[in-house]
Amino acid sequence: DAAYLYTGILCGYEVSDQGELDRLLLTQTQRRKLADDRSLDGSNADAVRFYPIAGDIFVLRYSEIKTLNVSYLSLPES
C-alpha cells in the first residue's frame, strides 16, 4: 500500500535456477515510508526518518526493487 526506502548491510544474496538475482539478505535493516521523506524546505529535518526492522536477517525480493543504491566500504587489511 506504500513505497518504502530501506537501508542495511548486505550479508548475502540468492540467485534463481536461471542464475538471475532473486533475493537480497540484509542485516541492521531499517525502513521508512517514501511519503515521509524530508520536504525540500527541511521542515521535518529533526524528525526520526528510519525505523529499525526486528529480526536478524531481512529478505528483500529483487523483483520488488525499483531502484538500488549501493555504498562500498574499504576495510583495512588485517
Q: Computed over its alpha carbons, how large is the radius of gyration of the chain?
A: 15
In a domain, 15, yes or no: yes
In a domain, 53, yes or no: yes
46, pLDDT greater than 50: no
In a domain, 14, yes or no: yes
In a domain, 59, yes or no: yes
Please count the structural domains in the chain: 1
Domain range for residue 52? 4-64
Model-level pTM?
Answer: 0.76
The strand pairing partners of 32, in sequence order, are: 5
Position 34 scores a pLDDT of 84
In a domain, 78, yes or no: no
Task: Give the integer Cα–Cα distance in Å for 9 and 53.
Answer: 13
In a domain, 77, yes or no: no
**How much is the mean pLDDT over the chain?**
87
Q: Which helix (H) or strand (E) holds 29?
A: strand 21-33
